[in-house]
Structure 1
Amino acid sequence: MPLWVRSSPLPVPATGRLQMAAALRIPEGQEQPQLRLAIEGRWQGQVYYRRINVGRPERPEDPTPPELSTQWARFAISVTDLPLSGLSDLRVGFDLMSDGEVWIDDVAVFDLWLEEREYDELLKSASAARLQVETGRLHECRLFLESYWPALLRRHLPLEEPPAVTAMPLPPTSPPSPSRRLLPSLSARSRSSWLPPAEVPETRPRGAGSTAEADKSWLPSWLRWR
């Protein structure tokens, strides 16, 4: 026996787009159920109903839908051409068309998003528009800015003005305290009186080491052998 669940009524989005996403899973050892993700309402006195299937096909001739797993996975139904007038009692929900058990969590509804192909297309168009501005083709760039996606984003995603940055006044610099005096720098000669004496290299006794090493110490540098 089919089982269905619906949300409370939603306001009709001015974007003409609606997406419902949810995390789904099934218990261990259960067969794939026949589950629908649905968007439903009333339009011009008739039932407005859109759906996608997950789990198992409802009829043998239906295409194979994505299967559910025992691990949480995210699924979504997206409608990009909702009627902008005459639509009422808009809801999202789930229809279980077969026996089985499905766990549902983290349901979210969006009225503005980009599919991956839409994002790629918008990114390419924006890059082309930037190049058109840099090369002086302003008319072509204006045509892009007046096209569907830039107009939609301007209407529903207005840019926020950055917050004004207020400069903080620096604290006043106080003059040096009269009780402090700057000592004059010591000259190199006066400093030598308190510097520790330089270490004197240890002198090897005459008899230590070989005679050749001792003789090398007094030869001029250009004549010493190695």
Structure 2
Amino acid sequence: MEKLWGWVGILLVVLYGSQAISGEVDDVYQLKVVVAAYSTVNDSESADQGMAGLLEASTGEYSKADLVALMETLGPSVKKMDAKTKREMALAFGETDIRYHLKFKSGNYVPTSLDMSTNLLYNVSYIVNTPSKLIHNIKTDIAIEKEAFANSGKVGSAIGFGMKIAFIFWDILHAITGVGLAIIMLLIGSIVGLLFHPIHSIANLIPVLWNVCVTLWHAIAYIFNVFK
């Protein structure tokens, strides 16, 4: 077990070290992850309708991919969101974003921003949905090479192929390290969430149990969206 966590630590250093060195390519990768979120849930509609609801910290009508995109671009404060919105956000990131988040774009830390039950939901959702997210991210990597570098000549084709390989490599590392972190945070994140939000931790337990059942179903159903 110690060797396992040792390898997870090494892979984290390799992953984030290589992304830091890559600069602008990493920025493209972050955008690619959000695009892959839409592929996962088979939704290509605009996030405009959900923007107002998210900014007002209410539960507007937006898809999981919309929510991830809005959180990653606007970075609204998680602390201002109600319990239902936080549960929806935990499901959105757990089911569609291959990157494991210890901190949101807003700067809010996940363990302290979410209560025990919602922390549990995020980590369980992340773990069980990782196969689906990995498949859709690799599908997006291949699509980017084919569509963006189709008629770009030998040099462009070489760049596109190199980017695809780098992105697939990062996807796999994110999946491995993410599952490792999620397993650790199942306990640690839940304890921290309980300490920071004791009342909400208990109040959210029953809704979260239902959400866990839903995300288990999505872990299987979203895999088939790769054919759409």
Shorter-chain TM range is under 0.3
Larger Rg: 1
TM-score, with structure 2 as normaliser = 0.24
Q: Provide the TM-score with structure 1 as the length reference.
A: 0.24
- Which structure dedicates a bigger proportion of its chain to helix? 2
